[in-house]
């Protein structure tokens, strides 16, 4: 069997859904297929905004209605018969969402992330319901499956951790029988706790969901359908000359994702690598184009990969008494970072200071300063960029650093990183 994952762009409007149905039909119905879908277009961002309004005690009515109208416009185009059951399902989901939002009004800050998952998860529920009905109407028999009942997680809201044993057992128990009859449509990004609450697996987590299903079902391949024909060595919106990798190994792909290449969700690779399931990154705009295959394969020389992270912040800590930064100091700093979920993108130690580069988050940064300012003198710069070149050479370094002010630089045998203004 195969798993197909369709991201937000591949379900963003009526045309995109027609295209999706065509890609699925082109499989000829000969193979077992499970589809994992993301929320439509930018729905997740839109729902985040709705939720922010709600928790700020502001009126969310207009923002919610915009999202409703967006989905309704797509459905109107795809289902001319206004009696179609999709309309009832859609209204029911929006009514439920409205209720959840109402309940989140003025809730305590401690429940913020929990509430976020209950709200933002509606994006995938909506899109999967629409995809399910639309394919059915196109003559593609399919069952709608609630992924929250299969991907069981703990309650680390917004970044839930999967209970693999449980998840694998129920997927193996229930889904093969369905797949032998018809195709499955399910949601990416979502999980569920053992007491029936919804969790999410982290932004862009649908790739990971697809990998979980592929792993548990021993798929012969996972196909991620994107708006680019495979993995490129740089973002074509930023770099003029990009090349496509025809094949990459799992390790290389994970590293690129780690450094921030917005290619594949980093957690996606491990389950696939564990069972040597190849991952194909294909273009839904040009489905027959070759794309990139990620598998067990090694290469001597790969084109340098350029990865840019914007909106970075460089924070330097020095001990107030001019002593050296000790392991004990580092322990204190790491603890505070971990508590605040501030991820270190790059770090460097010198005689009297320790510096980290992290994604800029004003609120968390100020909490960090509050926590550590008694013990350390702290300086920081914002609005920086972090460039990473994997498999660098001199030429690629020059290309990146030309004309920039460098605040921190690091290189290993394979990777060059620099924080610039
Ligand atoms: N819809 C979610 C997001 O935008 C998950 C995904 O698309 O992968 O982050
Ligand atoms: Mg997405």
- Residues 54 and 153 grouped into a single domain: yes
Ligand 1 atom closest to Cα of residue 207? 8
Task: Specify the CATH number for the domain of residue 404.
Answer: 3.30.2130.10
Interval between CA 339 and ligand 1 midpoint (Å): 25
Task: Specify the CATH number for the domain of residue 241.
Answer: 3.40.1160.10
Antiparallel, parallel or unpaired: β 406-411 and 415-420: antiparallel
- Residues 183 and 316 grouped into a single domain: no
Q: Is the dihedral of CA 216, 221, 227, 228 positive or negative?
A: positive
Burial 189-198 (b: 16+ CB within 10 A, else e): bbbbbeeebb
- Residues 88 and 229 grouped into a single domain: yes
- CA separation (Å) from 241 to 75, 232, 303, 305, 393? 39, 10, 11, 11, 16
Domain assignment present for 328: yes
- Pocket lining: 147 vs ligand 1, CB cutoff 6 Å: no
Q: What is the pLDDT of residue 321?
A: 82
Contact between 134 and 90 under an 8 Å Cβ cutoff? The reply is no
Measured from the alpha carbon of residue 46, the closest ligand is: 1
Pocket test residue of 16, 38, 160, 207 for ligand 1, highest count of atoms within 8 A of CB: 38
- Residues 64 and 187 grouped into a single domain: yes
- Residues 27 and 100 grouped into a single domain: yes
Please state, in angstroms and rounded to a whole number, the distance separating the CA atoms of residues 281 and 5.
10
- Pocket lining: 19 vs ligand 1, CB cutoff 6 Å: no
- Residues 355 and 398 grouped into a single domain: yes
| Closest residue by Cα to residue 78 from 145, 13, 8, 7 | 13
Contact between 294 and 253 under an 8 Å Cβ cutoff? The reply is yes
Residue with tokens 């710069």: 381
Give the DSSP H/E element, type plus range, for residue 94: helix 85-104
- Residues 39 and 115 grouped into a single domain: yes
Range of the structural domain that residue 172 is part of: 2-295
Token pair for 414: 């394979």
- Residues 254 and 319 grouped into a single domain: no
Q: What is the pLDDT of residue 263?
A: 74
Domain assignment present for 170: yes
- CA separation (Å) from 412 to 7, 189, 260, 392, 395? 34, 34, 17, 10, 16
Please state, in angstroms and rounded to a whole number, the distance separating the CA atoms of residues 182 and 302.
41
Please state, in angstroms and rounded to a whole number, the distance separating the CA atoms of residues 407 and 331.
24
Measured from the alpha carbon of residue 120, the closest ligand is: 1
Which regions of 274-360 does DSSP assign to beta strands (E)? 279-283, 292-295, 305-319, 344-349, 354-359
**Chosen domain end from 269, 295, 321:** 295
Contact between 400 and 418 under an 8 Å Cβ cutoff? The reply is yes
Domain count, the chain: 2
Domain assignment present for 300: no
Domain assignment present for 113: yes
- Pocket lining: 318 vs ligand 1, CB cutoff 6 Å: no
Residue with tokens 């548990």: 216
Q: What is the pLDDT of residue 264?
A: 84
- Residues 414 and 269 grouped into a single domain: no
- Residues 141 and 213 grouped into a single domain: yes
Ligand 1 atom closest to Cα of residue 42? 4
Q: Look at residue 312 and give its three-state secondary structure.
A: strand
- Residues 281 and 223 grouped into a single domain: yes
Domain assignment present for 336: yes
Which residue, judged by its Cα, is nearest atom 6 of ligand 1? Answer: 204
**Chosen domain end from 248, 267, 295:** 295
Interval between CA 278 and ligand 1 midpoint (Å): 22
- Residues 146 and 207 grouped into a single domain: yes
- Pocket lining: 115 vs ligand 1, CB cutoff 6 Å: no
Domain assignment present for 368: yes
Pocket test residue of 44, 151, 158 for ligand 1, highest count of atoms within 8 A of CB: 44
Q: Which ranges of the chain have pLDDT less than 70?
A: 300
* Helix, strand and coil percent figures for the chain, each rounded to 5: 40, 25, 35
Q: How many CA atoms lie within 13 A of 109 on its CB side?
A: 0
Interval between CA 7 and ligand 2 midpoint (Å): 5
Please state, in angstroms and rounded to a whole number, the distance separating the CA atoms of residues 214 and 180.
15
CA dihedral 15, 44, 127, 3 (to 10 degrees): 90
- Pocket lining: 191 vs ligand 1, CB cutoff 6 Å: no
Q: What is the pLDDT of residue 228?
A: 87
**Chosen domain end from 262, 295, 328:** 295
Interval between CA 327 and ligand 1 midpoint (Å): 38
Which residue, judged by its Cα, is nearest atom 2 of ligand 1? Answer: 204
């Amino acid at each position: 069997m195969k798993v197909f994952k369709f991201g937000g762009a591949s379900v963003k409007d009526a045309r995109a859904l027609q295209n999706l149905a065509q890609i699925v039909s082109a499989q000829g119905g000969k193979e077992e297929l499970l589809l994992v879908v993301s929320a439509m277009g930018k729905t997740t961002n839109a729902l985040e905004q709705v939720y922010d309004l709600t928790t700020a005690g502001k009126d969310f009515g207009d923002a919610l209605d915009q999202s409703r109208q967006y989905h309704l416009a797509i459905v109107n185009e795809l289902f001319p018969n206004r009696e179609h059951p999709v309309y009832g399902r859609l209204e029911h989901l929006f009514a439920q969402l409205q209720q959840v939002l109402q309940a989140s009004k003025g809730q305590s800050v401690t429940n913020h992330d929990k509430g976020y998952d209950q709200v933002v998860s509606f994006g995938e529920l909506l899109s999967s319901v629409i995809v399910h009905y639309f394919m059915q109407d196109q003559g593609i028999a399919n069952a709608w499956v609630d992924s929250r009942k299969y991907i069981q997680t703990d309650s680390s809201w917004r970044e839930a951790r999967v209970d693999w044993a449980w998840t694998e057992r129920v997927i193996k128990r229930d889904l093969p029988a369905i797949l032998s009859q018809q195709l499955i449509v399910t949601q990416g990004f979502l999980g569920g706790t053992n007491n029936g609450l919804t969790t999410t697996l982290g932004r862009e987590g649908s790739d990971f969901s697809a990998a979980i299903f592929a792993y548990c079902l021993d798929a012969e391949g996972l196909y991620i359908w994107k708006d680019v024909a495979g993995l490129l060595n740089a973002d074509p919106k930023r770099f003029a000359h990009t090349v496509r990798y025809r094949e990459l190994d799992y390790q290389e792909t994970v590293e690129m994702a780690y450094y921030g290449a917005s290619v594949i969700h980093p957690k996606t690779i491990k389950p696939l690598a564990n069972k040597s399931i190849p991952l194909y990154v294909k273009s839904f705009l040009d489905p027959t184009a070759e794309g990139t295959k990620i598998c067990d394969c090694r290469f001597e020389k790969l084109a340098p990969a350029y990865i840019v992270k914007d909106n970075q912040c460089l924070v330097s800590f020095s001990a107030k008494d001019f002593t050296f930064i000790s392991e004990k100091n580092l322990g204190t700093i790491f603890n505070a970072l971990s508590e605040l979920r501030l991820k270190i993108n790059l770090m460097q130690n010198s005689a009297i200071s320790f510096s980290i580069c992290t994604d800029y988050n004003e609120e968390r940064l100020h909490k960090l300063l509050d926590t550590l300012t008694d013990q350390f003198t702290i300086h920081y710069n914002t609005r920086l960029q972090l460039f990473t070149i994997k498999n660098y050479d001199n030429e690629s370094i020059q290309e990146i650093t030309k004309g920039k002010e460098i605040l921190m630089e690091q290189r290993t045998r394979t990777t060059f990183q620099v924080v610039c203004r």
